[in-house]
Amino acid sequence: MSRHNPCLLPRRATALLPSLALAAVVGCAAPGPGPGEAVSPPGLTEAEALEVFDFAWTRVHDTYYDTTFRGLDWQGVRDELRPKAGDAASVDELRAILGDMLSRLGDSHFGVIPAEHADAVSPEEVEGAAGEPGSVGVELRVVEGRILVSRVSPGSPGQQAGVGPGWELERVDGIPASQLLAVLDEVPEARPLAEARVAWSAESRLAGLVGDTTTAAFRDGAGSLHELALVSEAMPGTPVRLGNLPTMFSHLEAVEVPMGEGCVALIRFNVWMTPILPELESAFLELRHCHGFVLDLRGNPGGVAGMVMGVSGYFMTDQRPLGTMTTRQGELRLVSMPRRVTADAQPMEPFTGPLALIVDGQSMSTSEIFAAGLQGLGRARVFGEPSGGQALPALMERLPNQDVLMYVFANFVGPDGSRIEGRGVIPDVVTPLSRDDLLAGRDAPLEAALGWIEAQQDR
């Protein structure tokens, strides 16, 4: 049975690192304990709770990029919630109060990482270990009000069990999908982000921990119900850790898609972390003979923000602004850095042909910075669905109780001055997923991107 918190799923933790050790994770409302989950024990004294609350409130007060707090009475928030913090009977209750406080600002990348997650073992110890977050190779999306399978990894437990794209999740670990979807009725104004969180929650329950057996029920395209027991295996990719974030696993896939007498390079990676850089360069060099490139950023929740400068350099011949981070102290500009040499000092040139990017509601943070930058410069055409709108840089710091506070300290705008936060990157060609396409094995956003590249070839 899956026992980890879907809001603290390590592989979904994201980080921002322009030049300092900046980090943040995709926010999530703290859920109640799931089946078999332990509740933090009581025993928090009033003085301890107030010390934690005051520390968190003060950090935001002293560092938030907008000294007007976007019109929010930040002192009033303290006056309202501090007495409740003092009355908190447990660490969980205090975390919920802190979550309430941080959510009042309405920005992403605010949150609290419990100490037990922040103090996770090193990547070397966690790799493939029993009891660590695992995978069944099944990706989920909320499509047309249902939780659907969007992708199944070859050779994974999901594929071996016969799960196919387009199948509808009916139940996982005894929890009906309708119960997971119910939260959507509470947040109609932020539905794309809420849908992403629902999908991640369901996916994390389905994935379980390494060695777990998760029971799930799916309904196929013909309406038949499949009751399955899926045994979770180690996550694919390279384990990596940044600061106090839980261990993540980075992996990259690159294929050559035939097109007429030539090809298109298709590259997909799951998180912006440095272990993918050697793989990305190898893929670029191997596939740069193709007529165009497609970078598939669907489901990529972000990572090291500084990477956008080097990665964009594979496709930019000059330095151009990708966006600006603004703090109380000043501005930090992200710019493209053209790649003229390989990691082993061999000469190379950026690719100047057609470049397509694919995003969806689970593309967030650094993925949005990258897509917005290249779209704003007219260097890439974006396909898919609007991204998550979670693009603000944040810092992490230990609270007095050893939990980790994540707090926004900078605003971010794209090269055209537009704010991505709360809006997301709007594709040039909006191509939503549909169940009919998934069941038919069609990837409509990818097909649209490939069709556009083919049209450029014919010019």
Q: Which domain-ending residue is among 164, 199, 234?
A: 234
pLDDT at 301 over 50: yes
- CATH number for the domain spanning 365: value is 3.90.226.10
Would you say residue 4 lies in a domain? no
Same domain, 252 and 342: yes
Higher pLDDT, 185 or 15: 185
- Tens-place pLDDT, residues 428-448: 999 999 999 999 999 999 999
- Tens-place pLDDT, residues 194-219: 888 889 889 989 998 899 899 999 99
What is the pLDDT, as a whole number, of residue 244?
Answer: 62
Higher pLDDT, 10 or 453: 453
Looking at the 3D structure of the chain, how many domains does it have? Answer: 3
Would you say residue 186 lies in a domain? yes
The token pair that represents 112 in the structure block: 């609290």
Same domain, 168 and 261: no
pLDDT at 294 over 60: yes
pLDDT at 332 over 50: yes
Same domain, 66 and 38: yes
Calculate mean pLDDT across residues 217-241.
92
Calculate mean pLDDT across residues 384-403.
90
Question: Phi and psi at residue 26, in whole multiples of 5°?
Answer: -60, 125
What is the pLDDT, as a whole number, of residue 326?
Answer: 92
Residue 17 pLDDT level (bands cut at 50, 70, 90) = very low
Would you say residue 53 lies in a domain? yes
- CATH number for the domain spanning 174: value is 2.30.42.10
- CATH number for the domain spanning 92: value is 3.30.750
Same domain, 339 and 423: yes
What is the pLDDT, as a whole number, of residue 109?
Answer: 84
Q: For the chain, what is the mean pLDDT?
A: 85
What is the pLDDT, as a whole number, of residue 188?
Answer: 54
Query: Which residue range is the domain that position 286 belongs to?
Result: 241-392+411-457
Would you say residue 400 lies in a domain? no
Q: Over pLDDT 70: what percentage of the chain?
A: 85
Question: Using a CB cutoff of 8 Å and minimum separation of 24, what contacts does 431-436 make?
Answer: 431/383, 431/384, 431/385, 432/143, 432/385, 433/141, 433/143, 433/148, 433/150, 433/360, 433/385, 434/143, 434/144, 435/143, 435/144, 435/146, 435/148, 435/166, 435/168, 435/221, 436/166
- Tens-place pLDDT, residues 112-130: 888 876 554 444 444 445 5
Q: Which domain-ending residue is among 63, 85, 120?
A: 120
Same domain, 77 and 168: no
Same domain, 193 and 260: no
- Tens-place pLDDT, residues 340-386: 999 899 999 999 999 999 999 999 989 999 999 999 999 999 999 99
